Amino acid sequence: MLIRLLKAIWAYRDFIGGMVRREFASRYTRSLLGGVWAVLDPLSMILIYTLIFSRVMRSRLPGSTDSWSYSIYICVGVIAWEYFTEVINRSQGMFLDNSNLLKKMSFPRSTLPVVLLLSATINFSIIAGLFCLFLLVVGRFPGWPVLAMVPLLLMQQGIAVGLGLLLGTLNAFFRDVGQTMGVCLRFWFWLTPIVYPNSVLPERIRHLMFTWNPMARLVVAYQDIFIKGTVPRFTLFIPQMLIAMALLGAGFYVFTRLAGEMVDEL
């Protein structure tokens, strides 16, 4: 089944590329600045977080005297989380939003998650690239340890795509799925050490968070890379890898079982 899906995606690679380009272009249609907004929007976010927390509020991480540490900490967490939630949120509506396309054209439905992931990855790459450039300017770029993000991002993508595909398929039949997940993501955000350091939590709570929240350890690893310049111990991420594989398997299983009935529901 997996080989068949990969062959279908490869056969429709031009279709996927065209969809990604069209989606990116349509986002800035009728805009005077056009694609410049792809740079201005994330750049403004980075500047606001860094200036507010480092210069105005003068926030510090516990045990740190570095004026940039908390700003970098929160930026890394927010950028990673935004990438994660963009994939999930858009996945929930990918079949509903493309219902006319699904009814009028014949193409593998499995290409839609690929289009969504590529589009979200382009957005993330722009933001992450600007953030790294900013760190270079202020002399805080961590250097080669940043390459350790690649396997972490692959695990994050697996979790997001698997969960998104599962929710997107179910949302085509039960519209409450999207609303429910929106509420869950708000709680999930605050149960992940993004705006607060995990060191302020009691040991028991921290253990529960790292055990049941697959994003917690990933976000902390990103933050350690940019704050401390340390490469994470990848053996600690076996649970995240297994969760990603399980969600991808469950998502594609439910999707393939219900794909035939989906168009009628749309």
Per DSSP, helices labelled H in the chain are: 2-11, 13-27, 37-51, 69-92, 94-97, 99-104, 111-137, 149-171, 176-190, 203-212, 214-227, 238-265
The two three-digit tokens of residue 178, written as one number:
């999207």
Residue 157, pLDDT > 80, answer yes
Task: Count CB neighbours of 248 within 10 A.
Answer: 19
Q: What was the pLDDT predicted at 33?
A: 56
Residue 64, pLDDT > 70, answer no
Which residues have C-beta within 8 Å of that of residue 189, sequence separation ≥ 6? 81, 85
Q: What was the pLDDT predicted at 1?
A: 58
Nearest by Cα to 247 from 193, 131, 174, 168:
168
Residue 77 burial class via C-beta count within 10 angstroms: exposed 0-12, middle 13-18, buried 19 and up: buried
Residue 156 burial class via C-beta count within 10 angstroms: exposed 0-12, middle 13-18, buried 19 and up: buried
* Segment among 52-66, 159-173, 237-251 with least mean pLDDT: 52-66
Query: Where are the domains positioned within the chain?
Result: 2-265
Residues 9-23: tens digit of each pLDDT:
788 888 888 888 887
Q: What was the pLDDT predicted at 34?
A: 55
Average pLDDT (63-71) is 73
Per mean pLDDT, which of 57-66, 114-123, 168-177 is the most reliable?
114-123
pTM summary value? 0.89
Residue 238, pLDDT > 90, answer yes
Q: What was the pLDDT predicted at 160?
A: 95
Q: Which helix (H) or strand (E) holds 68?
A: none
